Amino acid sequence: MADFDLVILGGGSGGYAAALRGAQLGLSVALIEKDKLGGTCLHRGCIPTKALLHAGEIADNSRHASEFGVNAQFISMDMVAVNAYKDGVVSKLHKGLQGLVKSRNITYVEGTGRLVSPNTVQVNGENYTGKNLILATGSYPRTLPGLEIDGTQIVTSEEAMAFTHVPKSVIVLGGGVIGCEFASVWNSFGAEVTIIEGLPRLVALEDESSSKLLERAFRKRKINFVTGVRFASAVKSPTGVTVTLEDGTTHTADVLLVAVGRGPVTAGIGYEEQGIAMDRGYITVDDKCRTNIPGIWAVGDIIPTLQLAHVGFAEGIMVAEEIAGLNPRPINYDGVPKVTYSEPEVASVGLSTAVAKERGYDVVELSYDLAGNGKANILKTSGSIKLVAQKDGPILGIHMVGSRVGELLAEAQLIFNWEAEASDVAQHIHAHPTLSEAMGEAHMALAGKPLHAHG
Ligand SMILES: Cc1cc2nc3c(=O)[nH]c(=O)nc-3n(C[C@H](O)[C@H](O)[C@H](O)COP(=O)(O)OP(=O)(O)OC[C@H]3O[C@@H](n4cnc5c(N)ncnc54)[C@H](O)[C@@H]3O)c2cc1C
């Protein structure tokens, strides 16, 4: 039996952030992980997919090199080398994280944990007791009824990111963030891609204008997509997978990627037995991530907040600080930045026009077309920055589409979270020529003093 101030089950983004912050604040911490420290984000999510997207960007750059006066040629993808590059990035970060956990004197326990009492997790027959427990067991890729993942022809993101070949054709079931990112990667790698999305538009959680711009860009890249029609069935044959939709149309490809969302890992590990309140498998928590059982907290993908690594980090840090008595502010989830790292990127913070109107704001909008931005022209990217604001009030949302616009979120989230008005931002000087100038120009235009804008 080992006693700690804090026992954490799950060493992904939420769990390890809580461990690092807890230890920094002087708490004795045990961190229990059955697989690899770093969890989904580091090993099966954010980092490996962004490495694949970067390899795709280089492939596209080589295809388009002559547009910039460079003699180069795209020949083919070497997926063994792509995977070696991707795995190298993951492995370096993994080693760094392991070193960090060790340096903070966190007790790292390898094994599958099970909640056996309101203050005890059992691992390999040993009990770890904590004054506080944080549950951070993360999520798994969901599938649909009748759609069996075989790992080769019908796959989830987990198998897709380790492919040693580029399929000739792929159907991506799900036009959300993960689906659009893989569609972008495979198109760059040379596969023929078709996305099937049951909702009326791609990246449906984003502002409608962003979906339109992404769809336009995907059309230009010859990424096929069908929206507003739901999946009915899939049949495998030795040569591929045929998907039938509810309207009777069929699509055939070598591979079917199922990207229909992720479910919480909360079953079979003692949560139900200890009476932890859940809703459709997600643990219900208050605004400080407390469960219904005193002393038990839950963070990351197992609670019904945005399934993003930086949300898990923020929740883990908040809980550690709350336990240490710092009384941190609850998280404002509207202020969380979101990026789809496809080409082009889709990035946003704050409210969409539709949500702002639903909440009763008197909304004004402004779209600044990247065509007026020097750096966007140099990069040959198109898109826009759209501002949603309260009339004569603060900025309520910023929605961007274009290459590299994810990097503009740092400023966008300060604007939103500091409740800045367009005139506050308009007076800041942005470096020329950068994409960030478009952020300045958009706010100048909304403040009534447009510079490089027509009309
Ligand atoms: C393809 C893909 C791309 C993504 N891209 C991004 C992105 O670009 N940006 C972004 O912000 N987010 C991204 N995400 C989401 C991000 O990965 C998750 O939101 C984040 O990893 C959630 O962190 P977590 O700590 O809740 O869970 P996880 O990272 O899933 O960690 C949970 C950990 O708990 C462990 N565990 C589970 N049960 C037990 C048990 N009983 N005993 C011991 N250990 C256990 C698991 O092994 C795992 O390591 C992506 C996800 C995917 C799948």
- What residues have CB less than 8 Å from 20, skipping those under 6 apart? 100, 101, 104, 106
DSSP track, 310-364: HHHHHHHHHHHHHHTT--PPPP-GGG--EEE-SSSEEEEEE--HHHHHHTT--EE
Cα(171) to centroid(ligand 1), Å = 24
* Residue 157 half-sphere exposure toward CB, CA atoms < 13 A: 29
pLDDT of residue 453: 77
DSSP state of 284: P
Spatial CA neighbour of 25 closest among 395, 408, 327, 452: 327
What percentage of the chain has pLDDT greater than the value 70?
99
Task: Give yes or no for a contact between 165 and 76, defined as CB atoms under 8 angstroms apart.
Answer: no
Decide whether any atom of ligand 1 lies within 6 Å of the 112 Cβ: yes
Site to substitute for ligand 1 among 7, 21, 41, 307, most atoms within 8 A of C-beta: 41
At 272-320, the pLDDT tens digits run 999 999 999 999 999 999 999 999 999 999 999 999 999 999 999 999 9
Q: Is it the case that residue 2 has pLDDT exceeding 80?
A: no
At 16-28, the pLDDT tens digits run 999 999 999 999 9
Report the CATH number of the 154-260 domain.
3.50.50.60
* Alpha carbon nearest to ligand 1 atom 6, residue: 46
Average pLDDT over residues 80-85: 98
CA distances from 217 to 111, 210, 220, 308, 368 (A): 45, 11, 5, 25, 17
| Ligand 1 atom closest to 269 (CA) | 41
Instruction: Determine phi and psi for 394, rounding to 5 degrees.
Output: -70, 165
At 190-238, the pLDDT tens digits run 999 999 999 999 999 999 999 999 999 999 999 999 999 999 999 999 9
Spatial CA neighbour of 262 closest among 14, 44, 15: 44
What percentage of the chain has pLDDT greater than the value 90?
98
Burial class (CB within 10 angstroms; exposed 0-12, middle 13-18, buried 19+) of 162: middle
Residue owning tokens 């791609």: 202
User: What sign does the dihedral 190-192-196-197 (CA atoms) show?
Assistant: positive
Q: Is it the case that residue 452 has pLDDT exceeding 90?
A: no
Site to substitute for ligand 1 among 7, 8, 9, 13, most atoms within 8 A of C-beta: 13
| Ligand 1 atom closest to 10 (CA) | 34
Decide whether any atom of ligand 1 lies within 6 Å of the 435 Cβ: no
At 327-337, the pLDDT tens digits run 999 999 999 99
Report the CATH number of the 344-446 domain.
3.30.390.30
The CATH 3.30.390.30 domain(s) of the chain lie at: 344-446
* Alpha carbon nearest to ligand 1 atom 3, residue: 45
| Ligand 1 atom closest to 300 (CA) | 26
Q: What is the pTM of this model?
A: 0.97
What is the chain's Cα-based Rg?
23
Task: Give yes or no for a contact between 224 and 253, defined as CB atoms under 8 angstroms apart.
Answer: no
pLDDT of residue 455: 58
Q: Is it the case that residue 1 has pLDDT exceeding 80?
A: no
At 398-433, the pLDDT tens digits run 999 999 999 999 999 999 999 999 999 999 999 999
Decide whether any atom of ligand 1 lies within 6 Å of the 269 Cβ: yes
Spatial CA neighbour of 276 closest among 444, 179, 137: 137
* Alpha carbon nearest to ligand 1 atom 45, residue: 10
Spatial CA neighbour of 420 closest among 441, 397, 438: 397
With b for 16 or more beta-carbon neighbours within 10 A and e for fewer, the 25-58 pattern comes to: bebbbbbbbeebbbbbbbbbbbbbbbbbbbbbbe
- What residues have CB less than 8 Å from 358, skipping those under 6 apart? none
The CATH 3.50.50.60 domain(s) of the chain lie at: 2-140+263-333, 154-260
**The tokens of 358 are what?**
């639903």
| Ligand 1 atom closest to 114 (CA) | 41
Decide whether any atom of ligand 1 lies within 6 Å of the 290 Cβ: no
pLDDT of residue 146: 86
pLDDT of residue 261: 96
Task: Give yes or no for a contact between 343 and 331, defined as CB atoms under 8 angstroms apart.
Answer: no
pLDDT of residue 443: 97
Domain 2-140+263-333 = CATH 3.50.50.60: yes
Decide whether any atom of ligand 1 lies within 6 Å of the 307 Cβ: yes
Task: Give yes or no for a contact between 401 and 384, defined as CB atoms under 8 angstroms apart.
Answer: yes
Residues marked as catalytic: 432
Helix (H) or strand (E) holding 2: strand 2-9
Average pLDDT, the chain: 97
Q: Is it the case that residue 59 has pLDDT exceeding 90?
A: yes
User: What sign does the dihedral 72-74-75-78 (CA atoms) show?
Assistant: positive
